[in-house]
Amino acid sequence: MLQVPFIRENKDLVIERLAKRNLDATQMVNDVISFDEDRRRIQTELDNTLAESNSLSKEIGNLFKSGEAQKANLLKEKATQLRETSKELAETLNNKSDALKELLYKIPNVPNEIVPSGNSDEDNQEVFKEGDIPVLYEGALPHWELAKKYDIIDFELGNKITGAGFPVFKGKGARLQRALIAYFLDKNTAAGYTEYQLPHLVNEASGFGTGQLPDKEGQMYHVTEDNLYLIPTAEVPGTNIFRDVVLNERELPIGITGYTPCFRREAGSYGAHVRGLNRLHQFDKVEILRVEHPSKSYEALDGMVNHVKTILQELKLPYRILRLCGGDLGFTSALTYDFEVFSTAQDRWLEISSVSNFETFQANRLKLRFKNSDGKNELAHTLNGSSLALPRVLAGILENYQTKDGIVIPEVLQAYTGFSIID
């Protein structure tokens, strides 16, 4: 959530930057400033009324003490009117503050200045590419056919048990899945991230804290009786560890990692681009999160990008990095880099990671602050990234490492799987 003083002091910049999202925020920005002016005016009026009421109460008390009961009783009527006025002002102030907060919840984060303008993923900027695309044997198969051939992922069984988008991994497929999770966590903890095991359901306050609510409630599975939500990513419970927390500056930076299943209702469309593991309602992901000093968060973002690079280099998968344009940028993000792995059998790029800096947007919602060197509370910056999302990484491995004799396991994973080929 944007801070009101920031909007007030940078009105033109906010409107200009939000235009990169193809959003004309002029009216919303003007409304925020107007609501804030009303709120501050009402607050001043309330403060003055309360001060007058307190002063009058003291005066009434002194009059009674001095035996001037008649004068005191005359003033009591005025005191009653002031109390009624203050009650009405307090109610008006609460309504105005709630309206302002609801409006702020609807305004997305301001994109960083280097975010390119654009309408969709077609306007994203490729900033890096690495790895050789393998030449596969004639008759190479997409991963959903490989999964059936080697009996390692059963999409039909998942559909029987639950529905489309809930595959069943079995045998060497399940072991490869477990190997990837362990490998990702080991890489992250070796890089200094502290591992957490996190809840898979969160309350409404957690959803609002990281920006999934009210923006993405339609994409989240909602346990209505308990008003809990299945997590769409470990970012939600992980970042909410720090909700309503005031850190000491010396505690920064903080880095955590965690594995969770993730749940997303988003329906998606039909066709080969969403077949198999390309888009699921339940999938596994290992996440990295950081809480940073504002002056160091973009340096940290670069470090997170480089960290994900090393994982893909060790897996020896061809990949590229995209800087997302304004039209493809997530609601809470100021700057996002997407990683995509090339699926040779599908002849297309598959997104496998997003690494983002949210600056103070989430911290303002979370009330996540740190005490700076001047002893004042200051909003921290939050960042997160997939390290990595498993379905499309697994799809990339199955397709790019397939041979006529079977699917070779990347060398770095063989110590985790206990086997070197799926045949």
Distance between alpha carbon 246 and the CA centroid of its chain, in Å?
20
Taken in order 306, 311, 316, 319, is the CA torsion positive or negative? negative
Q: Is 399 annotated as a binding residue?
A: no
Q: How far, in Å, CA of 110 to CA of 25, rounded?
A: 11
Q: What is the spatial distance between Cα 272 and Cα 141, in angstroms, rounded to a whole number? A: 13
Residue 287 annotated as lining a ligand binding site:
yes
Only one residue has tokens 């939500």, namely: 229
Residue 233 labeled ligand binder: yes
Element (H, E) at 33: helix 26-65
Whole-Å CA distances, 266 to 164, 247, 259, 274: 12, 36, 21, 12
Residue 63 CB coordination number (10 Å): 18
Cα–Cα distance for residue pair 27/25, rounded to 1 Å? 6
Burial of 109: CB neighbours in 10 Å, binned 0-12, 13-18, 19+? buried
For residue 210, the number of C-alpha atoms closer than 13 Å in the C-beta half-sphere is: 27
Residue whose tokens read 């009624």: 84
Which token pair is 336?
């996002």
Longest dimension (CA), the chain: 107
Known binder of ligand: residue 352? Answer: yes
Q: Which helix (H) or strand (E) holds 159?
A: helix 155-161
- Which residue carries 């999409």 as its tokens? 155
Helix/strand/coil percent split, the chain, to 5: 50, 20, 30
Q: Is 384 annotated as a binding residue?
A: yes
Burial 341-363 (b: 16+ CB within 10 A, else e): bbbbbbeebbebbbbbbbbbbbb
Question: Do the annotations mark residue 265 as ligand-binding?
Answer: yes
Q: Is 220:212 a contact under the CB 8 Å cutoff?
A: yes
Was 57 annotated as part of a binding site?
Answer: no
254 annotated as belonging to a binding site for a ligand:
no
Return binding residues for ATP.
264-266, 351-354
Return binding residues for L-serine.
233, 264, 287, 384
Return binding residues.
233, 264-266, 287, 351-354, 384
